[in-house]
């Protein structure tokens, strides 16, 4: 079903397969949904790196570009999407809230998950986000803004709480002076 995969647990649902690059040695848990819906692009929309491990009930959907780097580890019940029904940026293109949700024009913004990222249980990764390499996203977090490399981020919205200090070789707490 998926060439060069290491282990695929069924059932799995794949839509728009020709717009997905699965990389090598992919492992999935059961109940995963991976969906590519091209709106403007006709090439790869979802790109997996190598040696990715995805647990149960992960839902990844792309309409323009979702890039997942090498050696990414995902827990269960994660949602990753580069798109929304409507636009909510606070500009003149915003969607009228009285319009029917299913008829709202789809908007999108690239999602990038860099190499060696660990995403915890029940995390949502929203459009336009980059998660920097070697970062950790804590369980139940909502990633709505970029997360720098070598960072642990938690919460709703996810905020950096620790950064790896290469000088002393340990995770150091980030002190938020605004709290």
What's the CA gap between 179 and 128, in Å, rounded? 27
User: By C-alpha distance, which of 54, 59, 62 is closest to 27?
Assistant: 54
Contact between residue 108 and residue 64 where contact means Cβ atoms under 8 Å apart:
yes
The pair of three-digit structure tokens given for residue 92, joined into one six-digit string: 């003149």
- Using only C-alpha atoms, the chain has a radius of gyration, in whole angstroms, of 17
Q: List active site positions.
A: 85
Residue with tokens 């994660």: 78
Please give the angle made by the CA atoms of 54, 60 and 66, to the nearest 5 degrees: 105
The pair of three-digit structure tokens given for residue 119, joined into one six-digit string: 């995403």
Contact between residue 78 and residue 66 where contact means Cβ atoms under 8 Å apart:
no
Contact between residue 43 and residue 67 where contact means Cβ atoms under 8 Å apart:
no
Torsion from C-alpha of 144, 145, 148, 149, nearest 10 degrees: 40
């Amino acid at each position: 079903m998926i060439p060069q995969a290491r282990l695929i647990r069924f059932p799995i649902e794949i839509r728009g397969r020709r717009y997905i690059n699965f990389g090598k040695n992919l492992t999935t848990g059961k109940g995963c949904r991976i969906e590519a819906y091209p709106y403007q692009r006709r090439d790869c929309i979802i790109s997996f790196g190598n040696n990715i491990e995805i647990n149960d009930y992960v839902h990844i959907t792309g309409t323009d570009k979702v890039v997942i780097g090498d050696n990414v580890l995902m827990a269960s019940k994660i949602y990753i999407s580069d798109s929304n029904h409507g636009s909510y940026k606070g500009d003149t293109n915003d969607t009228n809230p009285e319009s029917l949700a299913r008829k709202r024009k789809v908007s999108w913004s690239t999602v990038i998950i860099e190499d060696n990222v660990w995403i915890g249980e029940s995390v949502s990764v929203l459009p336009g986000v980059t998660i920097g390499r070697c970062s950790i996203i804590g369980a139940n977090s909502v990633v709505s803004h970029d997360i720098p490399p070598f960072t642990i981020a938690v919460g709703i919205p996810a905020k950096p709480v620790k950064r790896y200090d290469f000088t002393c070789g340990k995770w150091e707490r980030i002190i938020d002076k605004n709290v």
